[in-house]
Chain A
Amino acid sequence: MQGTDHTMESQTLEIADLTCRFGAHRALDAVSLSVGAGEFVSILGPSGCGKSTLLRSIAGLEAVEGGTIRIGGQSVDGLRPRDRGVAFVFQSYALYPHMSCAENIAAPLRMSELGPLGRLPLLWRLSGRMRRTRESIADRVGATARQLQIEPLLGRRPAALSGGQRQRVALGRALIREPALFLLDEPLANLDAALRNRTRTDLRALQRRIGATTLFVTHDQTEAMAISDRIAVMFDGRIHQVGTPDEIYRDPETLAIARFFSQPHLNVVPAATLRRHIGGATAAGDIRIGGAALEGMAGVVAFRPEDASIRTARRPGLPGLPCTVDHAEHAGHDANLFVRLADGETAVVRIRSHEIADWPQGAEGVLHFDLDAARRFDAPQGEAETPSRAREVA
C-alpha cells in the first residue's frame, strides 16, 4: 500500500425487475435501477418500504425471486456474498464484539488472503509467505485507520467506543476490501443530530476521494438531498422516481413524493375547490398551474408552505383564498402559520417568526401562493371528497 488513500476501480450497478417476497408480502416489486461508476445514489423511503431488502439482495444476503443484478456488467446471480465484491455497512454496524478494532478492520482481508492455517495463532510464523501477508494486512489496516482518523482506537474493543467511532470502524472494515460497490444501510441513523451532519459531509468527501460507487439507504430526505448525486425514492417495494435532488424537489412525480420532500407540511387543495374560490382566469389571462389551465382541471393542487403567503386584504388581480388564522408554530427564523380556509380545512403558510404577533388567532386574511411553484397531481384514492387540508407527513 503506497498512498494513504484507497483508490478502487469503481463499477456500475444495474438492477432490472428485482422482486423479493416474504410470504405473501412483496418487499421488492420489480425494482429497476442503474447506477453509474463512482456515483453516489441514495435510496430514500419511509420505514418498511424495502430499502434494506434491496441492499441485502444486492449483497446476496437475501434470496430474490426474480430479476437480475449486474455489478460491473457481470451478473452476480448465484454468487456468494463474499464473491460479489461489495462492502456492506450495517445500520447496527455489526462489529465483532470479541475482536479489537484492528482485528475487525482486518477481518475481510484475513478471510480472503490467509488460509485457515494462516488464521491460526502462532502457526503462521513458520511460513515466510504467511508472515509477509500478515505484515501487508497490518499495513493496510494502519492506512485505513489513518484515513478515518481512528488510529488511537485500534487496540480497543467495540464495546469501548462511542457510536460515531464504531461507525467509522465499520466503515473501515468496508473500505479495506477496496470493493467495487459500497452498500450503506442507514449508517448515520444511530448518531446524534450534530454528529450526523458532520459525518455525512465526511462520508461524501471520502466517497469522492476514493471514487467508489455507493448506494446509501436513508429515510431522511434532507440527508439524501444533501449528499446524493441522485436519489431513488421508494414506496411499498417500488421505486417511484429517480433523479437529482433538485429534479425531485422541484418536480416530484407523485403526491406521495411531494409530501415526502416537503416535510413537515404540504398544502393539498382539490382543483375544483380552488377554481370555486379564485375562478379560472384573471384579467391577465387564464390561470395556469404547472403549465396546465386551472379551468377544467381535475385532481389536486399541491403547494409548499414556503410558496404561500398571507395578506390582510385581497389585492386586485392576484387570486387568493380567504382564510382565518388558527395558530402559529415557531421554527426559529421562520414560523408555520396554520390557517382555516373558507370551507373549514387547514392550510399552512410560512411566515417570518417576528410576524407571529401580527396574526393572532381569529384574524382574517387572504392566502396567496406562487402558481408557478404549485403542482397538479391525480387525487389520491379515498381523498377526493376530503378537500384542502395540510397533511403532516410521518
Chain B
Amino acid sequence: MTGSTADLRARRRAGLLLAAPAALLLALLLFLPSSGVLVLSLTDYRFGMPGASWIGLENYARMLADDRIRQSLGNTALYAAIVAPVSILLALWLAVLIEATGRLGGFFRTVFFLPVTATLVAMATAWEVVLHPSFGMVNVALAASGLEKERFLSDPSLALYTLAFIGVWKMVGYNVLLFVAGLSTIPKDLYEAAAIDGADRGWSRFAMVTWPMLAPVTLFVTVITLIRTVSEFETIAVLTNGGPNGATEMVLYTLYQEAFRYFDIGLASALAVCFLGIVAGASILNIVLFDRRSRHG
C-alpha cells in the first residue's frame, strides 16, 4: 500500500509540475489584471491624478445612475436580442440548405466564411460606402425605386438597427460554419431510419433528427454569439462613434470612452467588472449545460 501512496504522490507532483506553467500564465494574464480591475473599480482613481482613495461601491452607484451608461446597457441588450437570435436561426437555416445542396457546399462555405476572415475595419469601411446618405449604393437603389433616402448611420431611430444588420452579417458566417460542421457529424443512417419511420423530409425530418442531434452545437453557438454580440466594438468605433446622440453606444465602447477619453478609470473598471460578470456567467452556464448533457445524454 505504501508503494502505491508514494506512487500517487509522485504522480501528483508530476501533474502539478506540468500544470504549473499554464496556471502561472493564467494567473499572470487573466486573474492578475482582473483583480486589478476589481480593486480599481472600488477607488476614484483617474489617469494623471496623483493617488486614489477608497470609495467602496460608489462607482457602481454612479454607473447605475448615469443616463448615458444606462442607455448604453439598454442598447447592448437590444442589439444582442436582435443579432443573436437572427444570426443563429438564419445560420441554421442556411446550413441546412447548404447541406442539402451537397455539391455547391464548398462554394457556399467560402462565401459565408468571408466576413469571418476579412479584416473587420476594412469591411466596416465598405459598409460605410454602401450605406452613405447621398451616394451609398443602398440609397441610390432606394431613390431609383422612388423611395426616400435614409440616413442609416446618423438617424437616431435607425442607427442601432443598421448596426444590428451589420452585426448579423458579421456573425452569420461563423455560425453557419459551426452548424455545417455539426450537421456533417449526424450519422446518415439516422436519416434513413427516420425515412422508414415516416419522417423523410421537411419539418418532420428536421424535428425528428436534425434539431435534436444539433442541440449541443446550438448551445455552443448561442453562448459564443451572445458573448460576441455583447462585446461589439469595432463597428461602433469605425461607423458611428456611439452616435448619433448615444443611440449606438454599447458597453465596451462606453467603457473605452470612460477610460481613455475621460480617464475615469474607477467608473470604467466598474463597467468592466459588470461586463466580465456577464461573459463569465454565459461561459459557466455553457459549461454546466454541456456537462449535464454529456452525463445524461
| Chain A residues near B (Cβ < 8 Å) | 56, 59-61, 80-82, 86-88, 90, 92, 94-99, 107-108, 111-112, 116, 119, 157, 159, 173
Contacts and interface: CB of A to CB of B under 8 A. Distances in A.
Contacts of B199: 111
A108 B195 contact: no
B208 A112 contact: no
Contacts of B196: 59, 61, 81-82, 86-88, 108
A298 B296 CA distance: 67
B192 A98 contact: no
Contacts of B208: 96, 107, 111
Contacts of A86: 196
Contact of B189 (A82, A92, A157, A173): A92
B16 interface: no
A95 B199 CA distance: 14
B189 A81 contact: no
A80 B189 contact: no
Contacts of B213: 97-98
Interface string B181-208: 0000001011011111111100110011
Contact of A108 (B187, B192, B197, B215): B197
A228 to B, nearest CB: 23
Given A87-B196, A94-B187, A94-B190, 14 more contacts: A56-B192, A61-B195, A80-B200, A81-B196, A81-B200, A82-B195, A92-B187, A92-B189, A94-B192, A96-B212, A108-B196, A108-B197, A159-B297, A173-B197
A80 B205 CA distance: 14
B189 A90 contact: yes
Contacts of B190: 94, 96
Nearest to A95: B193
Contacts of B215: 98
11 contacts: A81-B196, A88-B192, A88-B196, A90-B189, A94-B193, A96-B193, A97-B213, A98-B213, A107-B208, A111-B208, A173-B193
B198 A61 contact: no
A358 to B, nearest CB: 53
Contacts of B200: 80-82
Contacts of B297: 97-98, 157, 159
Interface string B44-55: 000000000000
Contacts of A60: 195
Interface string B210-224: 001101000000000
Contacts of B198: 82, 108, 111-112
Nearest to B198: A111
Quick one: which of B193, B203, B207, B213 has the most chain A CB within 10 A? B193
